[in-house]
């Protein structure tokens, strides 16, 4: 089995940034989800309620610098308008509603105005200064000492080609026109494939080594309405939640992909070997 795709999401809920290689830190991939969008009260603004976020991109301008985190990013829309944003290291903390986070640093009025104009509502861009301060919830598979970026529940998300192929086959049974799901719907950091890999085998791996880094499985990922938004057209539909509910529903949720916590540091690259344990 090998890594076939890698993505970093510099701003939570914005489009992913394909990479060929990236450093792995205890809290996730370097530069992943260290920025987020909030409203005036610090409440999260995500693509669930603001699908236009998926039409915006963010590119990391330079490599992360240790525990101090991601450097600047370049925001861009589909019309070619762009804005460079520096990590606001000297800003005063502001309240944010991300669980177990408390505060983040605001990126300034220029970034707020740029984003507000594109979302059609007042919003602010914030940055997480120290991902070591945000623990992974013990209720979501975390262990003492596990930390993460502004991602929902775990440092990394992994999906597989066979699982997506099986999902599209299920969708085709009832709605052939919708059997075109891509991994972008599920926003993984890592996609893998290989001979003999069965659909949803990843659900049962207690640990996995990818390249030179070992990871612990924390949970299967529960899926939300964001997966029903086409990342290209930004239109909403019923899939894949409708089909996941028929085949992959338990505990009141639908499930696709697995969350991982790095147990060691290193890097990950396209083509890296994948070796499950347990």
What tens digit of pLDDT does each residue of 34-89 get? 999 999 999 999 999 999 999 999 999 864 433 334 479 999 999 999 999 999 99
**210 and 256 belong to one structural domain:** yes
Residue 251 lies in domain: 138-143+153-277
**168 and 127 belong to one structural domain:** no
**45 and 115 belong to one structural domain:** yes
180 assigned to some structural domain? yes
What tens digit of pLDDT does each residue of 153-167 get? 999 999 999 999 999
- Integer Cα distance of 215 and 223 in angstroms: 21
3 assigned to some structural domain? no
Please state the pTM of the whole predicted model: 0.94
* pLDDT value for 61: 87
Number of domains composing the chain: 2
């Amino acid at each position: 089995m090998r890594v076939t795709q890698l993505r970093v999401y510099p701003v939570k809920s914005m489009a992913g940034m394909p990479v060929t290689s990236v450093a792995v830190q205890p809290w996730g991939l370097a530069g992943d989800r260290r920025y987020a969008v909030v409203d005036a009260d610090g409440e999260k603004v995500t693509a669930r309620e603001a699908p236009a976020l998926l039409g915006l991109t963010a590119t990391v301008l330079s490599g992360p610098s240790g525990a101090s985190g991601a450097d600047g990013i370049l925001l861009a829309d589909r019309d070619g308008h762009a804005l460079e944003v520096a990590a606001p290291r000297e800003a005063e903390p502001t309240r944010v509603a991300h669980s177990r986070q408390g505060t983040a640093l605001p990126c300034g009025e220029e970034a707020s105005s740029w984003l507000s104009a594109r979302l059609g509502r007042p919003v602010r861009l914030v940055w997480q200064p120290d991902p070591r301060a945000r623990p992974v919830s013990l209720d979501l598979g975390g262990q003492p000492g596990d930390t993460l970026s502004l991602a929902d529940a775990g440092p990394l998300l992994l999906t597989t080609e066979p699982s997506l192929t099986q999902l599209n086959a299920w969708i085709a049974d009832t709605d052939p026109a919708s059997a075109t799901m891509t991994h972008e719907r599920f926003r993984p950091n890592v996609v893998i494939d290989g001979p003999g890999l069965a659909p949803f085998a990843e659900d049962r791996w207690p640990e996995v080594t990818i390249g030179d880094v070992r990871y612990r499985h924390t949970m299967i990922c529960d899926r939300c309405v964001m997966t029903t938004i086409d990342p290209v057209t930004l239109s909403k539909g019923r899939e894949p939640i409708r089909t996941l509910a028929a085949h992959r529903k338990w505990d009141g949720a639908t499930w696709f992909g697995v969350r991982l916590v790095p147990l060691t540091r290193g890097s990950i690259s396209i083509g890296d070997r994948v070796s499950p344990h347990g």
